[in-house]
Amino acid sequence: MKLLTKYNRVNIAVTVVIMLVTGIIYYYTISHILTGQIDKDLELEENEVFSYVTKNHRLPDVYESNHQQIVFMPLGNKQVERRFLDTTYHDSDEKDLEAGRALISSVKVSGQNYRILVTQSKVETEDLIQIIFLITIGVIVSLLVILIILNRVILKSIWKPFYKVLFQLKEFSLVNNGVISNTPSTIDEFTELDQAVISMADRVKNDYQNLKAFTENASHELMTPISVINSKLDTLVQTDEFTDKQSNLLNDIYGTVTRLTRLNKSMLLLAKIENGLIQDNQLVDVKDVVKECIYQHEEMVQQLGITLKTTLGDKQLQANKSLIEILVNNLLSNAIRHNHQDGELSVYLDSEKLIISNTGEGSFDFGQVLKRFHKSDGSEGIGLGLTLCKQICDSHGFKLNYEHNDKKHAFSVRF
Amino acid sequence: MKILIVEDETGLRDSIEAYFTGSDSICETAKDFTSALAKVSVYRYDCVVLDLTLPHGNGLDIVKHLKGNGHNDGVLIISAKNSLSDRLTGLDLGADDYLTKPFHLSELKSRVTAIVRRRTFNGNNNLKFNEIDIDLDAKAVKVKDVVVKFTRKEYSLLLYFIANKGKVVSKSAIAEHLWGDSIDIADNFDFIYSHIKNIRKKMVEAGGNDYIQAAYGMGYKFAGV
């Protein structure tokens, strides 16, 4: 529920309740005052009868005035209690019954008790109350409407900076190097929020940049010692004759340094892609890249006795060539390495997609293998191959998919 | 050939110097921008092996200086930065090649040799080694005037060996040279042997010598006679 809706609901409910209670109190107060007024009229009439009787020793003539009737009734010896009561008023002109107020009293004329019943129509009073009631209702309704509109207009404009900040927060992305701009507001809370968000974004960005820069710098700095080790190894093997034991050790060191280099290069590449530092786009002929990759892998394909099927259509795209090479290389070498003896490998390329599918045991969780340093059992890789593929695809807007059926794995890249 | 090695990392500079010195090369070194600039201003080299990140300056300025003064020295940039823009800037300025660290010394030698060859034998791009005659433009090999058909990888391997004759070239270096560094190299060691076997066989069948010797299971050596 929106704050405005919630606020309006509470506001309206409270306003309506207060208005209703006020209305009821108002109604009863006015009603009471007006009834008192009528009662006074009735008493006045009674007094007139009393004074008439005292003067003339007889009952006055019964007359009918505007909205007032007097009825005398002989009582005999009976007494009657003086009281006011609500009754109906029978207007002689109009046939309908109206609400009325009556005073029952008694008078003694020549030893004879008479009951006096003075009745007065309350129509005017009721009309008055009705008008007052209508006005009250009108005030309530217009007040509500004005409240709602006012709330809407004022709150909307008041909350504008808040929504602007919120929108910027939603759009904020570290990867895209998002910026949160200043949102001026006359309201202290929003200014504070804005400042807090801006300083938070700056801090987060700073930390993120530092982390990225660290990864990149660390990988970068490692390259120099690795190249020294590499060159020293190359120099060492020139020096003398080696025993089998020594040459085995040297081979192991060579292998490890190579692995270290590859690992480091992959990490550096990942960091660079994530930092958006690789943008050198050029026109890449994917068909040529795929052909070259297959050529590079021909020995492995032959050794495993893999049947290679290729259907290569033309596809050119604007991309970083070395990244596309890495993408195809990684997918292809995975498809070969995880293949079995006399297996099958098919490479399909058209203008929309590249599909590399191979025979192979088992299946795996695609989400898992995309994680960094995830390695399948017995894999000799460094566990960054598919992560790199995914990053390369993401950075170029491609979609990397995996399907598995019938002991066949298929990786597809949709351009 | 006369080489200048501009590299601030002592370990690497010494290794390169040791690898290049001897056979038929004279090697000089510079450890920072100033001394490098002083050397290229006075002396001419067949090839300058140039690191980009140097104390007191950027290696690219040395390339600018060379080309700006009309010197035709070959330039091979070696850098830890594997960025295409650096590479393109370097090549645009007139550098001949770009090699990313870390690299094998044999790869460096092969690249430097190629640069020097291109600069020295203008027009006549033939490489002769004893009875082997290679037309570098046509990528055709003749052994004792007999045309020998090599595959792309075999041809590339042969050139690599000749550039590094007399040196032990490790399997890692060979694999990286043939398949690039984006392919897992350990997978390919077995295939090196079969390529070398084929080269030997073809050479011997054409009446040539078998120059390639296995070196203690670590690599191979092209015995330069």
Q: Which domains does chain B have, with CATH numbers?
A: 2-120 (3.40.50.2300), 126-222 (1.10.10.10)
Shared domain check, A305 and A268 = no
Contact B187 A235 (CB under 8 A): no
Q: What is the CA A228 to chain-centroid distance, rounded?
A: 55
Q: How close is the nearest chain A Cα to the Cα of B63, in Å? A: 22
> Phi/psi of residue B141, each to 5°?
-115, 135
Contact of A257 with A223, CB cutoff 8 Å: no
B35: how many CB neighbours lie within 10 A of its CB? 15
Contact of A332 with A301, CB cutoff 8 Å: no
Q: What is the pLDDT of residue B38?
A: 92
Write out pLDDT tens, residues A54-63.
888 888 887 7
Residue A296: list chain B partners with CB under 8 A.
179-180, 183
Contact A237 B9 (CB under 8 A): no
For residues B107 and B153, give the distance between their C-alpha atoms in angstroms, rounded to a whole number.
15
Q: Which of residues 141-200 of B touch A (CB under 8 A)?
A: 152, 167-168, 170-173, 176, 179-188, 190-191, 194
Shared domain check, A240 and A128 = no
Of the candidates A140, A197, A166, which has an alpha carbon nearest to the alpha carbon of residue A14?
A140
Q: What is the pLDDT of residue B13?
A: 92
Shared domain check, A299 and A407 = yes
In a domain, A261, yes or no: yes
Contact A303 B12 (CB under 8 A): no
In a domain, A10, yes or no: yes
In a domain, A164, yes or no: no
Alpha-carbon dihedral sign for residues A119, A123, A124, A125? positive
Angle at CA of residue B133, ends B128 and B139, nearest 5°: 115
Number of domains within chain A: 3
Of the candidates B102, B70, B75, B101, which has an alpha carbon nearest to the alpha carbon of residue B89?
B75
Report yes or no: B219 at the A interface, CB cutoff 8 Å: yes
Contact of A374 with A383, CB cutoff 8 Å: yes
Shared domain check, A358 and A298 = yes
Contact A230 B104 (CB under 8 A): yes
* Residues in chain B with pLDDT values less than 70: 23, 82-84, 121-124, 181-188, 224-225
For residues A308 and A310, give the distance between their C-alpha atoms in angstroms, rounded to a whole number.
6
Last residue of a domain, one of A277, A299, A321: A277
Shared domain check, A46 and A135 = yes
Shared domain check, A29 and A132 = yes
Shared domain check, A345 and A407 = yes
For residues B109 and B20, give the distance between their C-alpha atoms in angstroms, rounded to a whole number.
7
- β-strand partners of B76: B49, B97
Q: What is the pLDDT of residue B7?
A: 92
DSSP B186: G
Shared domain check, A125 and A7 = yes
Last residue of a domain, one of A277, A309, A342: A277
- For residue A227, the enclosing domain spans 172-277
The b-or-e profile of A321-331 (16+ CB within 10 A means b, else e) is: bbbbbbbbbbb
What is the full DSSP assignment across B110-154? Answer: HHHHHHHHHHHS-S--EEEETTEEEETTTTEEEETTEEE---HHH
- Altogether, the residues listed in chain A come to a count of 415
CB nearest to B103's CB, from A227, A303, A330: A227
What is the full DSSP assignment across A256-306? Answer: HHHHHHHHHHHHHHHHHHHTT-----EEEEHHHHHHHHHHHTHHHHHHHTP
Q: What is the pLDDT of residue A397?
A: 86
Shared domain check, A59 and A19 = yes
Residue B18: list chain A partners with CB under 8 A.
235
In a domain, A115, yes or no: yes
Residue B171: list chain A partners with CB under 8 A.
251, 254
B153: how many CB neighbours lie within 10 A of its CB? 20
Q: What is the pLDDT of residue B111?
A: 92
Give the chain B residue nearest A251 (alpha carbons): B218
CATH code of residue A385: 3.30.565.10
Shared domain check, A305 and A244 = no
Question: Helix, strand or coil for residue A149?
Answer: helix
In a domain, A151, yes or no: no
Rg (CA), chain B: 18
| Alpha-helix residue ranges (DSSP H) falling in A3-70 | 3-56
Of the candidates A301, A393, A413, which has an alpha carbon nearest to the alpha carbon of residue A349?
A413
Q: How close is the nearest chain A Cα to the Cα of B5, in Å? A: 14
Q: Which of B5, B15, B17, B151 to mutate to test the interface with A (most CBs of A within 10 A)?
A: B15
* Residues in chain A with pLDDT values less than 70: 64-66, 91-95, 175-176, 279, 376-382
Contact of A362 with A409, CB cutoff 8 Å: no
Write out pLDDT tens, residues A64-117.
666 778 888 888 777 788 888 888 877 666 667 778 888 888 888 877 888 888
For residues B92 and B65, give the distance between their C-alpha atoms in angstroms, rounded to a whole number.
14
Shared domain check, A252 and A223 = yes
Q: What is the pLDDT of residue B225?
A: 60
Give the chain A residue nearest B101 (alpha carbons): A227
Q: What is the pLDDT of residue A175?
A: 67
In a domain, A197, yes or no: yes
Shared domain check, A264 and A366 = no
Give the chain B residue nearest A272 (alpha carbons): B83
For residues B122 and A197, give the distance between their C-alpha atoms in angstroms, rounded to a whole number.
65
Contact A234 B105 (CB under 8 A): yes
Contact of B125 with B179, CB cutoff 8 Å: no
- Name the token pair of A209: 């940049």
In a domain, A160, yes or no: no
C-alpha distances out from residue B125 to A310, B132, B161, Å: 37, 14, 18
C-alpha distances out from residue A42 to A49, A61, A69, A73, A123, Å: 11, 17, 10, 17, 15
In a domain, A378, yes or no: yes
pTM of the model: 0.68
Last residue of a domain, one of A277, A292, A307: A277
Q: What is the pLDDT of residue B23?
A: 67
Give the chain B residue nearest A241 (alpha carbons): B216
Q: CB under 8 Å to A397, separation ≥6 — which residues?
A: none
Write out pLDDT tens, residues A203-230.
888 888 888 778 778 887 888 889 999 9
Contact of A190 with A183, CB cutoff 8 Å: yes
For residues B96 and A64, give the distance between their C-alpha atoms in angstroms, rounded to a whole number.
129
